Amino acid sequence: MPIPQRTPGEDRDEFLSRCIASEVAAGKPQDQASAICYLQLKKTSFAEETPMIDPELMKQCMLDVQGMNPTYTGTLAMKICASRLAVGAKQNAKDDSGIIDPETTQL
C-alpha cells in the first residue's frame, strides 16, 4: 500500500492523523507509522518551501562547485547548489519584504 500523500490545503495535523491511521490500518506498528508519516510530511513541507531556481544559476553554481573540488560532481554538486541558491532566494525575499517604496509611502 503506498504511503499517503499530503493534499493541497491539508494542514499538518490533518495529514498526520490521516497518514498514521492509514499506515496502522496497513499493519504497521504505531511508532513505525508515525516515523513514516513524519518523514512524508517533511518531504512535502520542503517541496512547498523550496523556491524556484533559475537553471542558468544552477549551471553556473555547479561549474563553480566542481572548480573548487573536482570530486563534487553530479548529484552532490546539485545538492550543494540547490541548498546555496535556495538560501539565497529566501534571503532575497526576506530582504525585499522590508523595502519602503518612497512613491507609495505616505509619511
84 domain-assigned: yes
pLDDT along the chain (107 residues), means of 10: 85 91 94 91 66 76 86 80 69 50 51
pLDDT value of position 58:
81
Assigned C-alpha cell, 102: 518612497
Task: Tell whether pTM > 0.75.
Answer: no
Residues 75 and 45 in one domain: no
Residues 66 and 43 in one domain: no
88 domain-assigned: yes
Residues 70 and 88 in one domain: yes
Residues 17 and 37 in one domain: yes
101 domain-assigned: no
pLDDT value of position 96:
47
Residues 66 and 85 in one domain: yes
Residues 20 and 45 in one domain: yes
66 domain-assigned: yes
pLDDT value of position 79:
80
Assigned C-alpha cell, 67: 572548480
Whole domain around residue 63: which residue ranges?
Answer: 55-96
What is the b/e burial string over 37-74, where b = at least 16 CB atoms within 10 angstroms of the residue's CB?
A: beebeeebeeeeeeeebeeeebeebbeebbeeeeebee
Residues 45 and 67 in one domain: no
Residues 40 and 65 in one domain: no
